[in-house]
Amino acid sequence: MKYGLIGEHLGHSFSKQIQTRIAEIENVKDYDYQLVELDKEEFKEFMEKKDFTGINVTIPYKKDVIPYLDEMDESAKAIGAVNTIINVDGKLKGYNTDFGGFLYMVKAHNVHMEGKKVLIIGNGGACAAVKAVCEHENAKAIVIVSRSSDRGAIGYDEMYTSHLDADIVVNTSPVGMFPNITNAPIDVSWFHKLECVLDVVYNPILTRLCFEAQEADIKRVIGLEMLIAQAKYTFEIFENMSFDDSIIDEIKKEMLKDRCNIVLIGMPSAGKTTIGKMLEEKLGKEFFDLDDMIIAKAGKSIPEIFQESGEAGFRAIETEVAIEASKMNNKIIATGGGTIKHKVNMDFLRLNGITIFIDRDVDKLISSDPNRPLSSSKLALQQMHKERYPLYQKYAAYVAVNNTNIEETVDDIVNAYHSILIDAVAD
Ligand SMILES: Nc1ncnc2c1ncn2[C@@H]1O[C@H](COP(=O)(O)OP(=O)(O)OP(=O)(O)O)[C@@H](O)[C@H]1O
Ligand SMILES: O=C(O)C1=C[C@@H](O)[C@@H](O)[C@H](O)C1
Ligand SMILES: [Mg+2]
């Protein structure tokens, strides 16, 4: 094997995709990067055999590789963990590009740590590199919080009693990571001086921690950038090359475009399904209707669900389905009429999704279609519009007015998606 990533479970890893894309952009031919899952026994054999030119190392082997190395660079030594190894004529040298990856993320977002109290959540491999960056950036105090208060970490109780004055929080724990996207390691509202939250978790795009920081107007930095930056620094070591850091932002935006969902909200008959299907073609994202997912899950029609379990029964299934949809990537998701009435649905759908309000005048929503009983009365529609309009506005990252040609509405959404909307997620 030439290059690759070793670790115990790699199903989640984007490293092959990122490494291959860097090779493409930098015009490096025949760049081969494999994902190699190893259990403890296989790991030992793999390291002894040394049948590779360069590897990345991930959980749980970043410390375990150290005894096999002939040499380590200074920052890897200081951190005590290695995520990159090169094999030169049978001699193995270890590096830690997570350090550079996290430093890049801190600098790119103007996070100033000097004189600040930084709280690091999680005490595993990623914590070591993050802590080294905080020291490098002259943080005034660095507090590590972990479920088990050992190896220099404090427990959550002590964090809540003594460290709610943290200026910066970095999550290096897996809390909030797919598939457990509804979890957050802390409640940001308890931290009265908090100015910035950084998360190294990159799936979902916005962890619940980052989402809640964003809602509270606290600067938040998403994890994808660190992964891409460390991959870039790894590539430079593997290929003995050096190129501009701007490739990190370029790949980040490409990956966000690929991974973000578009969540369509709006009144009944506003055009969500029609526009969603048109966007499916234009953006190459598969279309899903939450109502169809509800019907599939319940094995019944929506009127049947209402008849048998009432509105509460329906809303429970709707939220279950909204959480399932929130875990998906690269989809167009049309919501049902009442989905926006429950904040929980919208909060989860926005972890991987950009919300677009399809805004169509009430006059145009009137329908004689017998399948749309709520849309036949102008008065009923006006009442519903009045109630829901502030919610559509509140949850929308973008308002697409759909009063003229529907093709124009679709083009408007595509343009906004490629420019301002992805930029807003990336920042
Ligand atoms: N800009 C437009 N010009 C002309 N017709 C439109 C326009 N936008 C939507 N329509 C029409 O309005 C009707 C309702 O659209 P659609 O079914 O996509 O709405 P919806 O938002 O998905 O509704 P629901 O909430 O009931 O699922 C369709 O017949 C569609 O062709
Ligand atoms: O998930 C991944 O692909 C990786 C995660 C980090 O541990 C990195 O240090 C590693 O190089 C790759
Ligand atoms: Mg529809």
Residues 325-359 have pLDDT tens digits of: 999 999 999 999 789 999 999 999 999 999 999 99
CA of 35 to the centre of ligand 3 (A): 41
Q: What was the pLDDT predicted at 374?
A: 64
Is the distance from the beta carbon of residue 15 to the nearest atom of ligand 2 less than 6 Å?
Answer: yes
Domain 100-222 in the same topology as domain 3-95+228-246: yes
Question: Ligand 1 pocket: which of 265, 269, 341 to mutate (most atoms <8 Å of CB)?
Answer: 269
Q: What was the pLDDT predicted at 211?
A: 98
Return the DSSP state at 403: S
Residue 303: name the closest of 312, 293, 314, 292 by CA.
314
CA of 300 to the centre of ligand 2 (A): 43
Structure tokens at 228: 């891409």
**Separation CA 427–CA 419 (nearest Å):** 12
Is the distance from the beta carbon of residue 19 to the nearest atom of ligand 2 less than 6 Å?
Answer: no
CA of 375 to the centre of ligand 1 (A): 12
pLDDT at 122 over 70: yes
More confident: 373 or 334 = 334
Structure tokens at 422: 């992805």
Fold of 3-95+228-246: Rossmann fold (3.40.50)
pLDDT at 321 over 90: yes
Q: What was the pLDDT predicted at 376?
A: 67
CA of 269 to the centre of ligand 1 (A): 4
* Across 300-316, average pLDDT: 92
- Atom 23, ligand 1: residue with shortest CA distance: 269
Tell the burial category of 345 from Cβ atoms under 10 Å away from its Cβ (0-12, 13-18, 19+): buried
**Which residues are CB-neighbours of 201 under 8 A, at least 6 positions away?**
171, 174, 175, 176, 177, 207, 223
pLDDT at 187 over 90: yes
More confident: 375 or 190 = 190
Contact 24, 57 (CB under 8 A): no
CA of 274 to the centre of ligand 3 (A): 7
The CATH H-level superfamily of 260-422 is P-loop containing nucleotide triphosphate hydrolases (3.40.50.300)
pLDDT band at 121 (very low <50, low <70, confident <90, very high): very high
pLDDT band at 12 (very low <50, low <70, confident <90, very high): confident
Is the distance from the beta carbon of residue 56 to the nearest atom of ligand 2 less than 6 Å?
Answer: yes
| Closest ligand 1 atom, residue 408 Cα | 1
**Separation CA 32–CA 51 (nearest Å):** 14
Question: Ligand 2 pocket: which of 15, 177, 200 to mutate (most atoms <8 Å of CB)?
Answer: 15
- Virtual CA dihedral for 339, 408, 397, 205, nearest 10 degrees? 90
Catalytic residues: 62
Judge whether 271 is annotated as a binding position. yes
Residues 129-181 have pLDDT tens digits of: 999 999 999 999 999 999 887 788 999 999 999 999 999 999 999 999 999 99
* Across 69-80, average pLDDT: 95
Residue 336 Cα to chain centre, angstroms: 24
| Closest ligand 2 atom, residue 84 Cα | 11
Pocket around ligand 1 at a 6 A CB cut-off: 266, 268-274, 334, 337, 372, 402, 406, 409
Which ipTM score applies to this complex?
A: 0.93
| Closest ligand 1 atom, residue 365 Cα | 12
Judge whether 274 is annotated as a binding position. yes
CA 74, 76, 79 angle in degrees (round to 5)?
Answer: 110
Q: What was the pLDDT predicted at 375?
A: 66
Q: Give residue 318's identity as a one-letter amino acid code.
A: E
Q: What was the pLDDT predicted at 179?
A: 93
Q: Where are the domains of the chain?
A: 3-95+228-246, 100-222, 260-422
Q: Which of 53-67, 76-90, 185-199, 371-385 has the lowest mean pLDDT?
A: 371-385
Judge whether 272 is annotated as a binding position. yes
% the chain with pLDDT above 70 = 98
Question: Ligand 2 pocket: which of 9, 83, 104 to mutate (most atoms <8 Å of CB)?
Answer: 83
| Closest ligand 1 atom, residue 364 Cα | 12
Is the distance from the beta carbon of residue 83 to the nearest atom of ligand 2 less than 6 Å?
Answer: yes
Strand partners, 356: 264, 398
CA of 368 to the centre of ligand 1 (A): 13
| Closest ligand 1 atom, residue 264 Cα | 21
Q: What was the pLDDT predicted at 372?
A: 65
Q: What was the pLDDT predicted at 167?
A: 98
- Atom 6, ligand 2: residue with shortest CA distance: 58
Query: Where are the extended beta strands (E) located within 25-135?
Result: 33-37, 54-57, 71-72, 84-88, 91-95, 117-121
Mean pLDDT (the chain) is 95
pLDDT at 373 over 70: no
Q: Which one is the CATH code of 100-222: 3.40.50.720, 1.10.287.3510, 3.40.50.620, 3.40.50.300? A: 3.40.50.720
The ligand with the least distance to the CA atom of 372 is: 1
